[in-house]
Amino acid sequence: MSYELIAILMFSSMMLMLMTGQRVFGAIGFVGVVAALALWGTGGSDIGFSAAMKLMKWYPLLTLPMFIFMGYVLSESKIADDLYKMFHVWMGPVRGGLAIGTILLMVLVSAMNGLSVAGMAIGATIALPELLRRGYDKKMVTGVIQAGSSLGILVPPSVVLVLYAMIARQPVGQLWLAGVFPGLMMAAFFILYVVIRCRLQPELGPVLPAEERNIPRAEKLRLLRSGLLPIFIFAAMMVPFVNGWTSLVESSAIGALTAFLAAVVKKRMTREVFENSVRNTLGISCMFMWIILAALGFGAVFDGLGAVRAISGLFTEQLGLSPWTILILMQLSFIIMGTFLDDTAMLVIVAPLYVPLVHALGFDLVWYGVLYTITTQIAYMTPPFGYNLFLMRAMAPPEIGLKDIYGSILPFVCVMIFALVIVMLFPQIALWLPEYVYSK
Amino acid sequence: MPVFIRRYVHYVDKFNRLLGRFIMYFIFVMAGILLWSSVSKTFFLPSLWTLEMAQFAMVTYYIIGGPYSLQLGSNVRMDLFYGGWSDKTKAWMDAITVLFLIFFLGVLLYGGLSSTAYAIEYGERSYSAWRPYMWPVKVIMCFGLFMMILQSISEFFKDIARIRGTEI
């Protein structure tokens, strides 16, 4: 049997196993070890365990539990309540202002944790009910929260970029810095969209009534102080890192402990919050780690077959496509796959296939990391099986149906694709900051 | 269900729950090691042992915590079709596919045992300035994998019970 055929067989049996609804790590791991045993006999039996050892040696992975813990502390302890109030008071008098405030809130939450789940939880439970009560259009605000929370994986710290770094063998620090400007640019596009939409149709985002806007200046300034907390947490994490005092991993631990202490100082760390954060951190970390473990084993077999070279040869030599056409095709296929595959599975299965290909085509892998993350964001949000869509359904108030959620994301997906194209055309948006910082 | 199966499920679940609830506080152990690492690097001499100790703690955390995460149901499934099935169909499918999971874990453990045997026999050490022995962490990993298999078998029994319309 040719190696290409084995590769295709492995890939399709994995898809089939995933369809059965077994735990993702079990499905991937099973196909990996069976293929290893079939190819190399008993010599293939240690491939699973050596994947576990490889995972242990991969030091930056320690950031994963840290950021997950941080995300849970922030969302469970409701530290973000005050932040929301701040934006509410300051942005209320503007048309569509609360929606803009929500996007800004999401940017701050993204700067404090590396996954989109925390932003989603904060947005859906704190901001969404308020926005609906003020007569904001439910489709628009659902979209705002989904799009805004997806920034969590692009704005540093980002767990997705940590995993990407592992696969692409690129420095995490550069990747994180590369995410800064594209993330802010995308947030600016979202805000622009809301402003334009509300100018054309003022009924979508009414201004706050006069009696609610009548808040004493002292109170307004007091609320502004709550914005210091996320800046403080972000600084505690990033300043020692950028100055080279601590490594990335150590910074993530400092960030996690700072968030924890902030919750304690604010008297929000009740027994229940503590229990939930610690327990869920274990659950989610185990989920990630076991999937990565299984996928590393699977990938080792795949690498052993030389499947990637075969695929890239097929595209460039036999079909004669230009590198840019292949890149665009890859992003498109990625979005399509992302609508069907689970997010983490997609990350660990698809990235090992694409990243070496991108490298072979001569593109910058840090730049591609940003493209990759934006594409993941889009894939999370697109129906019928976007991961964020289901999260939103689970967390949003009952009057928001699946249909509203599906309808809400369309304009934002267009905005995100626009942002993706901009970053593709102007790589300097992503690459300027890391080059500036690291060339010093 | 026969009494011994019920006992098995009861004790395995109870033990793994205790284990998981103990190990979940390792998040603070990891954070503590990393914090000490940054403090010692900034103010004193950098410690040699922190990097690898943090790695060992992380592996312990997710391998020993694995069985509890199975109990909590935190492991994602692709619910494209699964989500739409009745509870009974889900139990049927799980009862079959969990055997694949057990097979995977079995191969992991097999590789782990031979690697551990090697590490003990030859006194394998890590290639670093600190040069820790490798066998303790490998023994911990094998123990975790073994408990993971016991927990998967317990899940299998629970699926069977669900097919028969009872609960354990």
Is pLDDT at A307 greater than 70 in this prediction?
Answer: no
Which is nearest to A199 in space by CA: A188, A210, A207, A209?
A207
pLDDT of residue A312: 65
Is pLDDT at A113 greater than 70 in this prediction?
Answer: yes
pTM: 0.82
Which is nearest to A350 in space by CA: A377, A330, A321?
A330
Is pLDDT at A398 greater than 70 in this prediction?
Answer: yes
Give A51's contacts (C-beta < 8 A, 6+ positions apart): A293, A294, A296, A297, A300
pLDDT of residue A356: 79
DSSP letter at A314 equals I
pLDDT of residue A134: 81
pLDDT of residue A47: 85
What's the CA gap between A192 and A415, in Å, rounded?
10
Is pLDDT at A343 greater than 70 in this prediction?
Answer: no
The dihedrals phi and psi of A96, each to the nearest 5 degrees, come to 70, 15
What's the CA gap between A27 and A9, in Å, rounded?
14
Q: Which of B24, B54, B82 lies at the smallest CB-CB distance from A62?
A: B54
Which is nearest to B63 in space by CA: B144, B136, B134?
B144
pLDDT band at B32 (very low <50, low <70, confident <90, very high): very high
Higher-pLDDT residue of A378, B21: B21
What's the CA gap between A324 and A344, in Å, rounded?
26
Which is nearest to A162 in space by CA: A265, A45, A67, A260?
A67
Tokens for A419?
Answer: 């942002």
Rg over alpha carbons for chain A, rounded to the nearest Å, is 22
What's the CA gap between A374 and A417, in Å, rounded?
8
pLDDT band at A345 (very low <50, low <70, confident <90, very high): low
Does residue A251 contact residue A172 with C-beta atoms inside 8 Å?
Answer: no
Question: For A157-180, what is each residue's pLDDT tens digit?
Answer: 888 888 888 878 888 888 988 999
Contacts of A285 in chain B (CB under 8 A): 27, 61-62, 65
Q: Which range, A46-60, A229-243, A420-434, B74-88, is most confident?
A: A420-434
Contacts of A50 in chain B (CB under 8 A): 111, 115
pLDDT band at B104 (very low <50, low <70, confident <90, very high): very high
Give A211's contacts (C-beta < 8 A, 6+ positions apart): none
Contacts of B77 in chain A (CB under 8 A): 21-24, 342
Partner-chain contact B111 A50, CB within 8 Å: yes
Q: How far does B15 lie from chain A, in Å, by closest CA?
A: 16
Q: Which range, A256-260, A299-303, A390-394, B98-102, is most confident?
A: B98-102
| Averaged pLDDT score across all residues of chain B | 90
Is pLDDT at A373 greater than 70 in this prediction?
Answer: yes
Which is nearest to A415 in space by CA: A230, A193, A179?
A193
Does residue A195 contact residue A207 with C-beta atoms inside 8 Å?
Answer: no
What's the CA gap between A25 and A17, in Å, rounded?
10
Partner-chain contact B112 A56, CB within 8 Å: no
Does residue A79 contact residue A262 with C-beta atoms inside 8 Å?
Answer: yes
Q: Mind giving me the DSSP string for A386-408?
A: -HHHHHHHHHS-TTS-HHHHHHH
Q: Using N-to-C axis directions, what is the helix angle for A159-168 and A63-76, rounded to 10°?
A: 170
Does residue B126 contact residue B44 with C-beta atoms inside 8 Å?
Answer: no
Q: Reduce the secondary structure of B89-112 to three states and give it as a string.
A: HHHHHHHHHHHHHHHHHHHHHHHH
pLDDT of residue A185: 95
Does residue B96 contact residue B160 with C-beta atoms inside 8 Å?
Answer: no
Question: For A7-61, what is each residue's pLDDT tens digit?
Answer: 778 878 888 888 888 888 898 899 989 999 988 888 778 888 888 888 888 888 8
Q: Above 0.90 for ipTM, yes or no?
A: yes
How many residue pairs bridge chain A and chain B with CB atoms within 8 Å of each other?
194
Q: Which of B24, B55, B104 lies at the smallest CB-CB distance from A30?
A: B104
Amino acid occupying residue B164? R
Contacts of B72 in chain A (CB under 8 A): 279, 283
- What are the angstrom distances between the C-alpha of A92 and each of A53, A193, A336, B90? 53, 17, 38, 48
Contacts of B70 in chain A (CB under 8 A): 23
Residues in chain A: 440
Ramachandran sector of residue A321 (left: φ over 0; alpha: ψ -120 to 50; beta: rest): beta
